[in-house]
Structure formats: C-alpha cells, structure tokens
Chains A and B, each alone.
Chain A
Amino acid sequence: MKTQKKNTWAIFWAVLAMLYFFVPMLGTFIFSLRMKRGVLSFQAYQSVLADSRFLESFRYSATMGIITVLVSVLLLLPTVYWIYVKVPWMRPAMDIITILPFVVPVIVLVFGLIRTFGRPPFQLTLTTFGTDILMTAGYVIITMPYMYRAIDVGMRSMDVRTLTEAAQSLGSNWFQVLTQVILPNLRIAVLSGALICFATVMGELILADFLVRPALGSYMAGIGRSKAYEPAALAIISYGLTWVCLGLIQYFSRGSQEQQLTGR
C-alpha cells in the first residue's frame, strides 16, 4: 500500500517536470511553423538559413568553439597530468582555483577584460585579431571548471604514475607519454569536456556582445529585437545543437568503462 502511494507521487512529479520541459519546447516549435498565415510551414527556418549573417555568425562561433577547445586542452591536459605525476598535493588547491570562474560572473569578467586590455600596456582591443585572442581567453576561463573536472575525473580513473613509468622505461619522452599514452586513455573524458565547452561557446552572448564580435549569440539577440518567428526557429535550432552535443557525450561515455585502462 505504502509503496503504491509513493510511486504515485513520484509519477506526479515526473509528469510535472516533463510538462515543464516539453511545453515550452513544443510551443516554440509550433510557433516557429506559423510564419505563413494559415498554414504550418518551415518558412521561418528557411528564412534563418538563407540569412548570410546567420551562416557567418554560425561559422565564427563554431571556429571560436574549436579554437577554445584546443587552447583549453593544450593548457589543461599537461597541467592536470603534471599535477598527478609531480605535485599531487596541489590537487585540493587546484579544485579551488578552477572553481574561481564561477565566482566571477561573465558580465564582471568581460567588464574587467575590457578595462584591463582596452588600454596600454596590454592593449588588445584595437585589432579584431587581438579581440579574438581576448574572446578565446574569456571562453577558456568560462569553460575551465567543466574542462578541468572532465580531465580530472578521467585522469583519476587510471594509474597515471604507473603508465608514465612504464612508458618511460620503454624509452619514450614526456611528449610521447602525453600524446601516445595519456591522451588515448583520456579521449572520452577530453571529448565530453570538449563538447560541453563547444556548446557553451556556441550559446554564449556576453563576451561577443560586449567585445563586439559577430558571434551566434549576438546575432540571435539582434534577431530577437527585430523579428517574430525567426527567433523561435533559432531557439529550436539551438536546442538541437545542445541536444547533439549532449547526446554525443552520452554516446561516447557509454563504452567508457571497458575502454579506459586502469592500473588498479
């Protein structure tokens, strides 16, 4: 009797949650189909996809996303590896340091970046290239908590020291250890970190908006001010993109148990 009652409540809350998830999504989807009066059509999507500024901003954000992922992995992978092999006593400190980007909200970060790098001696905002460097740095900072955690979790699940010693005794140098032993074992962790990183960059508004670069976020904000149906279509496209990124993470991490080497 009791468990029966419990289960009813569980289903009640589950249904409520699903309604909260699906109703806005469904509403947005149907709304996006109503651009042509009286019939349901994909015209809003056609209009979005035909807009050259959409494609440009999409390409720009995707490029920035990939660059961010590369810089982030290049910076964090050797760092985390170094910590595990050489200075494991730094790990608690690193846990705190990598959570700092949460302490500084993005709007405050961009404020600080503009005030710091908008004037000598480190003036970067004069050229588009300099601004892009600043954007990438900002993105790497914003996504650092996710990327660090992903790599850290992956690194924890294998015996880094033993693998390193084994590789070294076979004559490989540090670079070879990192690229040929550690990275292949970490590929799932790095990949899921990378996908979250990428999804975050694709949806980010603040950095691009205040540094005035043509990213997807700024484009969407602009469309939202001037159009009615295209924003709904963009929201659905954006949903789809996040969906694909998270789906890929789930797909890749499914086989992670068998594929990761463990020394223990």
Chain B
Amino acid sequence: MKKTRNRKLPGNSQWQWKNLIGLLPFFLFIAFFLVMPSLTLFSGAFQDVDGHFTLANFSFLQNTFALKSYLTSVWVSLITSVIGGVFGFFVAYAITAERAPRWMRNVLTTFSGLAANFGGVPLAFAFIATLGRTGFITALLKGICFNGAGGTTICPFNPYEHGFNLYSVTGLILAYTYFQFPLMVLTITPALEGLKREWSEASANLGSSSSQYWRYVALPVLWPSLLGATILLFGNAFGAYATAQALTGGSIYLVTIMIGQQIRGDVLGNPNEGYALAFGMVVIMSITIFLYVMLQRKTTRWIKS
C-alpha cells in the first residue's frame, strides 16, 4: 500500500498502458458474460452442424416463418416508435411550453419516469384487465345499451364486435405505446429545453408566425434529437419480449418470441439457424444504437450552454 501512496499521478504516456490494469476486473467481466456468449452465438451462425464455415444458416430468410417474424418485429417497432415519438414529442412540448402550470410538468415528468420503466409482464396484465375480453373498459363500453326496434337491445360500443382484439398486433402496439411515449418524453425534453427563448423572440421580431418559427428554426435544430430519440424507441421495442409473451401467449411471432422458442426446443429444426436469427437481431440493434449515438453527439452541440 505504501508504494501506491507515494506514486505520483501519471502524466507521461508510458504509464498509461500499464494503468489499464485497474480496469482488468471490469473487462474480464464483460469478456466473460457479454462478449463470450455473443461470440458463441455469432460463430455458431457461420458454422454448419459439423463446424465448417458456411453462410447457409442465413437462408432462414427464405424460411417464410422466420422472415415473417422479422417483418412483424420491425413493423411493430416502427409503428410504436413513430406513434410514441410523435405523441411523446407533443407531451414534451406541453411540459416545456412557456405557460405550462408547474404541477402539470411535475406530474408528467414523474409519470413518464414511471411508465418508461414499467414494462414486461405487469404491463400486459394491466392491459388485459383494462381492455381484455372481460376488462374494465370493455365491460364499461359493452354496458352502454339502447332499446332498439321491436324490444331488442342494441349495445353498439362493444369493441370486440368492431374487430378490436387486444391479443393481436393492435393490442401489442397499444401496450408498447404505454412505455414508448414516456421514453420519448424523457429523451426529448432536454432538447426542447435547449431551445433558446431568444430564437423564438428573434423570429417573432422578424415577423414570423409560430408555425414559421417551428418550421424554419425549431425543427431544423431539433431534428437530430428527434430522429435519434425515435431510433432509440425503435430499439426499445425491437428487443422487447416479456410483454408480447404475456399478452398473446407467444402467438404473435416476433423475432424475440421465435428466439425464445428456439432456446426451448429448436423450432427451426437447426440450432445454427437459431444463432443466425439472434445474430441478425444484434446487427439491427447495433445499427440502431450506432445511429442513436451519432445523432446524440450532433445534438449536444446545440443543447450545451
């Protein structure tokens, strides 16, 4: 201990590589429990059953089942990220609007924090209890009845008679939006707060309307953060598993559900194709996160100071 105490904090570059030794536990942990498992899957994705290199596993994209799971996942993620993104943006706007009451800001921010962290199985339960076949709102709407002609009663508001079904892609989108738009609120609020008041005043002085201000000043400044946040939402939905599993019992084939079934019992009939399926997910997530980080960097230039 004495030695370390007397050692000076390093300045020259010779010391710098030796100093990395303190990060060894961290890197070992990452290597063991994140990199190694990932590499196991990746190497499996490029091998056939005998361990020879092959690209044949990616022919799962010709397997309509697997391809469809990718399309469903991308579709659900895309829709919920756009809906959540737009809705979340307006809510964040409401939070940062000049004359918004303070309590409203507090309530919205608090609930966004809560809802963005509220996912998985309980979220599915909440939606089943509310909008499921016997759910609270469903029962409420079902109960609105009128006396029709000839003594019959008509109950025109039962959502399940109008093609609504919670245990479907629609239901999934509704449930995902519950955690998507609050995440948008949390990520985009700092950017909106970064819009300087002088900008709107200056544009007003130059005679522009509110919509012109948004079109020519605010949105051009905001678009990298808007796009970045929406991309983050996409990734957030793309990796989700528990809500879909609990809501639909695995009857909607998202990629995550497919992988889950592949882990349980090799539904694809070829373990290496399962690895390829997982590899594809990581590729998509990497692109997503990379774009998000790049756009985020672009944003900080404006938000700082």
Question: What residues make up the interface of A, taking CB atoms closer than 8 Å to B?
Answer: 2-3, 6-7, 9-14, 16-18, 20-21, 23-28, 30-32, 75-76, 78-79, 82-83, 85-87, 89-90, 96-97, 99-117, 137-138, 140-141, 161, 165, 168, 171, 173-175, 196, 199-200, 203-206, 210, 217, 220-221, 224-225, 228, 231-232, 234-235, 238-239, 242-243, 246, 250
Contact = CB atoms under 8 A, between A and B. Distances in A.
Contact of A113 (B33, B239, B241): B33
B126 A246 contact: no
Contact of B94 (A13, A25, A115): A13
B4 interface: yes
Contacts of B26: 75-76, 79
Contacts of B123: 235
B167 interface: no
B221 interface: no
B293 A85 contact: no
Nearest to A245: B117
Contacts of A83: 23
A82 B18 CA distance: 12
A7 B101 CA distance: 10
B177 interface: yes
Overall SS of chain B's interface: helix
Given A97-B30, A104-B34, A6 B23 contact: no
Contacts of B117: 196, 199-200, 242, 246
B23 A174 contact: no
Contacts of B122: 203, 220, 234-235, 238-239
Given A99-B293, A110-B263, 20 more contacts: A7-B99, A9-B97, A20-B181, A28-B126, A75-B25, A105-B282, A107-B256, A108-B282, A112-B37, A112-B38, A140-B29, A196-B117, A200-B117, A205-B245, A210-B263, A217-B121, A231-B125, A231-B129, A232-B128, A239-B122
Interface string B100-142: 1000100110110111011111111111111100111100000
A166 B178 CA distance: 49
Nearest to B127: A24
A246 B113 contact: yes
Interface residues of B, number: 88
Contacts of A137: 29, 32-33
Given A10-B94, A23-B137, A242-B117, A221 B246 contact: yes
B136 A174 contact: no
A250 B99 CA distance: 24
A204 B125 CA distance: 15
Contacts of B37: 109, 111-113, 115-117
A17 B121 contact: no
B82 interface: no
A3 B22 contact: no
B40 interface: yes
Interface of B: 1, 4-5, 9-10, 16, 19-20, 22-23, 25-26, 29-30, 32-34, 36-38, 40-41, 44, 87, 90-91, 93-95, 97-100, 104, 107-108, 110-111, 113-115, 117-131, 134-137, 177-178, 181-182, 185, 210, 235, 238-239, 241-242, 245-246, 249, 256, 259-260, 262-264, 274, 278, 281-282, 285-286, 289, 293
Overall SS of chain A's interface: helix
A90 B21 CA distance: 12
5 closest A-B pairs by CB = A112-B37, A27-B130, A105-B239, A27-B136, A82-B22
A116 B91 contact: no
B107 A116 contact: no
A205 B118 contact: no
A3 B98 contact: yes
From B113, B114, B129, B260, residue with most partner A Cβ within 10 Å? B129
Nearest to B242: A205
Nearest to A99: B289
A11 B104 CA distance: 9
Given A23-B137, A204-B120, A234-B125, A109 B4 contact: no
A232 B3 CA distance: 60
Given A203-B120, A232-B125, A112 B40 contact: yes
B118 A85 contact: no
